[in-house]
Chains A and B, each alone.
Chain A
Amino acid sequence: MTDETNDCIIFEDVSKFYGEVLGVNRVTLSLPAGVTSLVGPNGSGKTTLMNVMTGLIRPTRGRVSVLGMTPDDPVEFFQAVGYCTQFDSFPRSVTGWQFIYETLMLHGVTRAQAHQLTGEALERVGMIEPAHRQIAGYSKGMRQKIRLAQAIAHHPKVLVLDEPLNGLDPMARAESIALFESLGKQGMYVVISSHILEEVDRISDRVVLMTSGYVVAEGNIHSVRQEVREQPMQILIRCSQPALLASRVFAMDHAVEAKLHGDGRGVLVRTRDVDAFYMLLNRIASEGLVSIEAVAPADDDVNSIYQYLIGWDGGPA
C-alpha cells in the first residue's frame, strides 16, 4: 500500500453500468484532502460516483479506495467516512436525537459518548431545539440538516455530501458552506456534489466536472481554466484610464474583445493568449501611462468553465 493510496481517495478506472445504462465510465481520480466539488447536471454520474465510493453500489469495473480502505471492511471504513445522501427518507418513528444517537451507538461508543457527540452534531447544524421532535414532522431544510448532523457526528476524516444545499434557506446555506469550508481547512476530505455552482465554487480546492458519466475535467479550478485554451479568457482590469488601455489592447492580435466596464472604471478584456496579455499589461504599467488598480480573471469560475466544456450554464438541469 503506497503513501498516496493511504492519503487520497482513489478511483481506478471505475465504471458502473445499470444493465445497459451507463452510470459512470472509466473514472480515474485521486482526491487529496480539502474540498472537492463534483459538478454536473442531473444524470452526469455524481451520485453514482459517491455511492460507489461508499459501497452502496459496487463498481462494474475498477476499484475505489478511501485512505487505503474499502467498504468491504465497513467497521474500519465507516469510522472514517460520513455520507450525507440525498435520499430524503428516514427510519420510521424516530426523533432527530434518536436518529443520530442510535447511529453513534452502532459505532460502538458508550452511551455517554453517544450523548455528547449527538449534542455536538446537533448544535453544529443548529438543530438542538427541534431534536426531540419526530423527523416525520420536520421541514425539508430540517431533514437536510439532520442528515448532515448524522454524517458529521462521529467526526469522520472523509465527508461525502450529495447535494447538501438542497432545501436550505439562504441563511442555512451560508452556514452550511461555512461549515464545509472550515472542515476542509481542518484537513478533512470533503467531497460535495451540487448544482449550485457559484456557491460551491467559492470553497472548492478542486473541481471534478462530469457529464453523461464521464469526467471531462478535474483539478484546481484555476488550472482547469488554463487548460481550456481554445476559449478566450476574460480578464477585468481596474485602472485609471480604461479607454486608453482598451485601445492598446485592441492593437494586439490575441485580443478578441476589449470593452469598458459598466461603471466606467475598468476594462473587460477577452484574449486568446493570456501570457502575452499580461506582458503587455506590465509594459503599459511600467510606462506610467495607466495606473493599474486591480487585475482579476472574470471567467475562471466553475460555471464558466462548465459552459465552455459542455455548453451547460450551471443551472439546475
Chain B
Amino acid sequence: MSGVPHNPDGQPLTVDQALVNINQTTDPGLRYYAAWWLGKMRVCQPEAVAALLLALKDKTDRSPDGGYPLRRNAARALGKVGHGHDDVIPALLVCLDCDDYYVRETAAQALESLGDAAAIPALVAMVRGGVAAAVQVSGKPHLVQPYNAILETLGTLGSRDLVPVISPFLDHSVPQVNNAAARAMYQITGDAQYAERLVAMLGHDQLQLRRAALMDLGAVGYLAGADAIANTLAENSMKLIALKGVLEHQIGDGSDAVTLSAESRRVMALMDSLL
C-alpha cells in the first residue's frame, strides 16, 4: 500500500508508513498525526528529520485561530529526534518569530531538550521588555510570549550572567511565570532560596500549581525538597516522576557505575512508599 496514506485508527503505524504520511499533503490529519508519532517513537533517521523540517515551514494546515498545528507537532518532535542534525537548531530559531504563540512555545521547549546554548541570544531577545511587556494578549488565554517555556529553557541552557534577565520575572503576577523564573534562577545560581519558592508552591490551593511545582522540582532535582514532594496533595504518579528527577540528579551522569549514597536510598524509600 505504498503511497497510500494510512489510517491511524486502523493498524499500528510503521516507520515507513509514517514517512509516507508526513510527506503527503492530501490529508492534513494524517500528516499531523505522523509528525507527532515520529517524535513519540523517536525516529531519528535523516529522512524523518528532513520531513519534520519541511513540516516546520508548512503553510497549509491552519487552525481556526490562524495557528499552525502541524508546525507545533513538528517542533515538538524535532526536540526529541533533532540531536546531531545541523539544520534543526536554526530552523527552530526561525520558529521563535512565528505568529503562532504555540509554535513559539513548542520551539522554545524543543530548544531546551536539544541543549544547545546557541539558542540563548534569541530567547533573551524575546523577553527583553521585561515584566512590563509581559502582559496578556487581549482575547487570548496567554501572555504575549511563552514566558514559562522561555525562562525554563534559559535556566537549562544558560549561566549566571542571565540573572538580570530572569530575576525580574520572580515578581510577575502570573504564578506559573514566577515559578518558571524561580526554577531557572535555581538552575543558574544553585541558590536554594529559589528552589524553596517552588517547595512553598507545593502547598498552594490549586492542584494545577501543585502539580507544576512537582514537575519543576523534579526537573531541577532539588534533594532538600524530597520529603515535601512525597507529602504533596497530588497524584502519586506525579510525585514519583518528581522524585525520579531528584534521584537521577543525585546519582549524576547516566554511567553504569551507580554508587548509591544514603540520600539516594532515602529518595528511593520515599518512591517505594508511593507505588
A and B part of one assembly? no
